[in-house]
Amino acid sequence: MKRHQNLIMLIAVVLLAIFPLWLVQKPAPDANGKAVEIFAGADDKAKDLIGEISPDYQQWFEPLIEPASGEIASLLFALQAALGAGFIGYYLGVSVGREKSRRELIEGNTR
């Protein structure tokens, strides 16, 4: 049951991510015939909204380093996720091994 519970939760996470892709329709191109981008970052949308609310606002500080392209940005995001996932994987591996040897030790003692 427990195993199924985890599996069901992971499937739900995947579905929650896929569902919007199917649900959101691409809007018609704007007046200039340029395609409207969907699934852009919420952070960028907030930036656009700041421009709408206070058009006079000047960005007073620029990022020190910008990723040279979208590809390089996704490389760095992938690296960030890989570092984290790698550590969690290592931890789970160690934990499973330790639990196994602990159990074998107990079984050996009771025999």
The binding site for other proteins (CB under 8 A) comprises 2, 5-6, 9-10, 12-13, 16-17, 19-21, 23-24, 38-43, 45-47, 49-50, 53-54, 57, 59-67, 73, 76-78, 80-81, 83-88, 91-92, 94-96, 98-99
Comparing CB distances to other proteins, the nearer of 2 and 111 is: 2
Comparing CB distances to other proteins, the nearer of 28 and 42 is: 42
Q: Which of 56, 54, 53, 26 has the alpha carbon at shortest distance from 39?
A: 26
Cβ–Cβ under 8 Å, residues 16 and 7: no
The minimum distance between CB 49 and other proteins, in angstroms, equals 6
Kindly list the distances between the CA atom of residue 29 and the CA atoms of 21, 45, 69, 84, 99, in Å, as whole numbers in the listed order. Answer: 18, 18, 25, 39, 58
The minimum distance between CB 71 and other proteins, in angstroms, equals 13
The minimum distance between CB 65 and other proteins, in angstroms, equals 7
The minimum distance between CB 37 and other proteins, in angstroms, equals 9
Cβ–Cβ under 8 Å, residues 26 and 36: yes
Q: Which of 22, 25, 23, 47 has the alpha carbon at shortest distance from 36?
A: 25
